[in-house]
Amino acid sequence: MSTRVHDAQSQGGLLSGVLGTGDIIFMILACAAPMGVLAGIIPLALAFGNGAGVPGTQLVVCLIMMLFAMGYVRMIPHVRNAGAFYAYIALSMNKEAGIAAAYVAVTAYICAAASVLGAMAYFASDLLQSAFDLSTRWEIWAGLGILAIAWLGYHKITLAAKVLAVALLLEVGLILLIDALILYNVGFSGLDFSSFTPDTILAPGLGIALIYAINGCIGFEATAIYQEEARDRKKTIPRATYGAVIVLGTFYVLSSWCLVLALSPEKAQEIAAADPGRLVTGIAMEYLGQFGRDALNLLTVTSLFAAALGFFNNISRYLFALSRDGLMPAVLGRIHVRHGSPYAACLLLTVVLTVIIGLFALAGLDPLLSLVTSLSSMGAVGLEILLATTSLSIPFYFARRGEISFGTFWAPLSAGIAIAVMTYLSLANYSALTGTDIALVNRLPFIFLGLVAIGLLHGLWLRKYRPLTYAQVGSTHVEGELPPPPPMSEPGPNGVATQLG
């Protein structure tokens, strides 16, 4: 066992000082799946949103995310916990709200991971069919994907970071090449900036475009999940958070604008609506020929795999943090003696994803029209709820401390209100996100209401019957305090000592 891993185990934490700013940015951007967003989400925004105003809408959402980030990173000196949303809300509001947020976060991330795996499996099977006329079942690729991300998640986090960096550079490189060819083709005289004018942005369909825009940005907030493993976290995490927002925002604004230029602002919505699923592959074929189309299809698969791996790492660290704080079985808080990874949480998550994929497979449901449709939108809405709640809770924390400034109060408050409005739009137009009229699918977000209620009740129960565990919620590794030792026993409801952990 290395000295670093031994120190991490003795302190009840993850392997510290192994991730730099670049590592975290690559992991976050890969989790956002920029190729998947460009090929899948932006064409839908063009078709059913405000058309040529999509690039301007992306810019507005990027600015809102930057306001959120300003408050988000200012919490870092006060909380050092892999639970991120959960720990921030527990500290800013109360522990009951933090527990409710934890339930919502884990569920939303699991939904996102399962949906991305389903999409990856579908496109992998479709790629072999179109390229080699080889028919394979999607379940095979889903199973192989789960095994691969479980193996990478089980090992040292730096290995996953390297894999994600390679996948990200390949997909971003291809997209930027297509962007450059479009700009070269239209020439300086063909540049049209009407996509960024108020009239174009405020065109009918803005609400739908906002929904798709924020869904494409979700994922950057996970930088705080890795702060226990970061080098000089007080500098690394803010840099990674701002860097992720700037890179994602620039990428989406530039690429969506180039798509509009390639189609022409006047015809962008009409052409996208005709066949949004093949819009980007068609443009890749136009500018790079057969190679471009095949490369884009292949990198879509690797992009989705990278996103699944990113979500897997996020969830395993959430489970680890909740276990360490006494909200889940103690076994999930174990870290590997050699890799320093939360291996027990990784194993549990592998089983959970296998069961979800297996149930859809046994039911004979389509991976794209059923699995992805039902779970991706639910995961996105869950994370929107958490973004809004976290952003609105941060001003209260700093107000109690008497630290009211633009970055600590007004920026996160403004972002929280804006994200809350977009969350409402997502829920009000949920069938537009899922693309189906099936009532059961469109009622799935009600599960979050149940999770919030259960979380609040769990918190109240802990406060009354397990005060030592309640005291730990969200407070593990709070900056300036020693991590509280895990409680060995505390009185049960009848005054009888109950062994914990």
Cα dihedral: 356, 110, 434, 38 (round 10): -120
> What pLDDT is attached to residue 61?
94
What pLDDT is attached to residue 15?
A: 60
What confidence score (pLDDT) does residue 58 get?
95
Which sequence spans correspond to the domains of the chain? 18-477
Q: How many CB atoms lie within 10 A of CB 123?
A: 25
pLDDT in tens, 324-366: 888 888 899 888 777 777 889 999 999 999 999 999 999 988 8
Which of the four CATH numbers 3.40.50.300, 1.20.1740.10, 2.50.20.10, 1.25.40.10 does domain 18-477 have?
Answer: 1.20.1740.10
19: which strand partners? 230
Specify the pLDDT at position 359. 94
Taken as a whole, the chain contains a residue count of: 501
Low-confidence ranges of the chain (pLDDT < 70): 1-17, 81-83, 156-158, 160, 475-501
- pLDDT of 476 reads 56
Count the Cβ atoms, other than its own, within 10 Å of residue 440: 8
pLDDT of residue 490: 52
What is the reported pLDDT for 142?
A: 95
- pLDDT number for residue 114: 94
Please report the pLDDT score of residue 18 as a whole number: 72
What's the confidence (pLDDT) of residue 111?
Answer: 94
CA distances from 286 to 184, 294, 341 (A): 14, 12, 45
Q: What is the pLDDT of residue 497?
A: 43
CB 202 within 8 A of CB 61: no
Say what the pLDDT of residue 1 is: 46
Residue 32 tokens read as: 């956002």
What whole-number distance in Å separates Cα of residue 355 and Cα of residue 337? Answer: 28
Longest dimension (CA), the chain: 80
pLDDT of residue 69: 93
Q: Which two tokens stand for residue 302?
A: 């690797």
